[in-house]
Amino acid sequence: MEASDEQRSRDAVRRGIDAVWRIESARLIAGLARLTRDLGLAEDFAQDALVAALEQWPRDGIPDNPGAWLMSVGRRRAIDHIRRQETLALKQQEVGRDLETRLPVGEADFESVEEDIEDDLLRLVFTSCHPVLSAEARVALTLRVLGGLTTEEIARAYLVPESTVAQRIVRAKKKLAAAGVAFEVPPPSEFAGRLGSVLEVVYLVFNEGYSATAGEDWLRPELCRDALRLGRLLAGLLPREPEVHGLLALMEVQASRSRARVGPDGAAVLLLDQNRGRWDWAQIDRGLTALDRAEALTDTPGPYAVQAAIAACHGRARTAEATDWHRIAELYATLATITNSPVVELNRAVAVAMAEGPEAGLAVADGVANAGVLSGYHLLPSVRGDLLERLGRAEEARSEFERAASMTRNERERDVLLGRAAALAGTA
């Protein structure tokens, strides 16, 4: 019985360490990157601190200020590394003494540099999302250093081998070092473009959780939670940036529907069929508040704020029939002008169909189809199938649903599409 109690105690400490790491890892890596000016080294020293915690905390207990403890160990590793540099021995000793003088490693001293943490985190955000990296590398590195996820967790979420994720992260850090990417907030001339890269990464993570592109699951809620955590972090770090609040509003409102988007058997439930009593109305309120902030900060909302306004039209409707489809169609027209995106135009086709009828919506969708740029996008035949079905053109609709099912990589979505096709068989 005593051994069992001891094991339970160790398990509890391990869970506590996991929780601390999720909370503190970004702050820890950010602070160490400021010292080392190297993201790869910073993560190495942070991992060293984690290993030390795994060795000592089960024996000694979790310290009162675990973040300070981890930072102390990480800094000591960084200072030791600086001192070991053979080619610049004398200079490094001076730097090491300077670090010890300016940045003591005790818990009380950790609190004295708390005001630097936000700046460090902001630098880390812009570094891990640097446009010199591919989208896949930015996502993997951001989830690793800002989200605190392990390579195994990232691989599981994206249904790729763990070795693939590990290689992406290693190559990303090497590429940042080779490109001489500075650990800094970009200058004003580059800020808008760099912020766009950051927001893109967060939204890519959220979208993969909200509508999984492959696999058996319709949703991956853990990715939505990670993206929301990153979005809230950004909103705190950049309170005057309207698109940051726009993205957060969009994610909050969309995520509020998560419980209603999957049936008891795991099958997808489409928006108009959802039980809105299962929506998280408190989360919708948080999203609407973020949207108000975004709109108060600018007279010309960006794409995320416009998308949030569209989501808000759904979020304000207590029933499907109460949805303001005319307003949604107008907002999609605005978004199409901003983005020049055929996917946005396809979404506008759905809104126009709801506002003006399926024939008007099909005309918009056919315009997208004729342009040919979405020939490999499964939602194009899916939307056309829906509109053709509503127009009574069952055989054409069935063919479109089958084509869409052959193109999607998500098994739940494929089941829905094949089910709709089967329901139309023999009704032409």
Q: Say which range, 79-93, 270-284, 307-321, 387-401, has the weakest mean pLDDT.
A: 79-93
Give the model's pLDDT for residue 419: 93
The pLDDT of 4-32, averaged and rounded, is: 80
Distance, in Å, from the CA atom of 72 to the CA atom of 52, rounded to the nearest integer, reads: 11
Sequence-ordered strand ranges (E) for 260-359: none
Q: Say which range, 94-103, 222-231, 300-309, has the weakest mean pLDDT.
A: 94-103
Give the model's pLDDT for residue 214: 61
First to last CA, the chain: 70
pLDDT band for 108, please (50, 70, 90 cuts): very low
DSSP result, 294-305: HHHT-SS--HHH
pTM for the model:
0.78
Residue among 62, 38, 40 nearest 50 (CA): 62
Residue among 39, 248, 24 nearest 129 (CA): 39
Give the model's pLDDT for residue 105: 43
In angstroms, the Cα distances linking 122 to 134, 182, 252 are: 20, 13, 22
Give the model's pLDDT for residue 17: 83
Give the model's pLDDT for residue 295: 97
Question: Domain boundaries in the chain?
Answer: 1-112, 117-233
Query: What are the tens digits of pLDDT across the range 252-269?
Result: 999 999 999 988 877 778
Higher pLDDT, 164 or 91: 164
Give the model's pLDDT for residue 427: 64
The pLDDT of 207-228, averaged and rounded, is: 77
pLDDT band for 232, please (50, 70, 90 cuts): very high
Higher pLDDT, 181 or 426: 181
Question: Could you tell me what percent of the chain has a pLDDT over 90?
Answer: 50
Average pLDDT, the chain: 86
Cβ distance 421 to 402 under 8 Å? Answer: yes
The pLDDT of 233-241, averaged and rounded, is: 93
Distance, in Å, from the CA atom of 325 to the CA atom of 271, rounded to the nearest integer, reads: 13
Question: Could you tell me what percent of the chain has a pLDDT over 70?
Answer: 89
Query: What are the tens digits of pLDDT across the range 117-161?
Result: 578 888 898 999 999 999 899 999 988 888 888 888 888 777 789
Higher pLDDT, 324 or 110: 324
pLDDT band for 24, please (50, 70, 90 cuts): confident
The pLDDT of 65-90, averaged and rounded, is: 77
In angstroms, the Cα distances linking 420 to 359, 384, 414 are: 20, 13, 10
Q: In this model, does residue 87 exceed pLDDT 60? A: no
Distance, in Å, from the CA atom of 89 to the CA atom of 108, rounded to the nearest integer, reads: 30
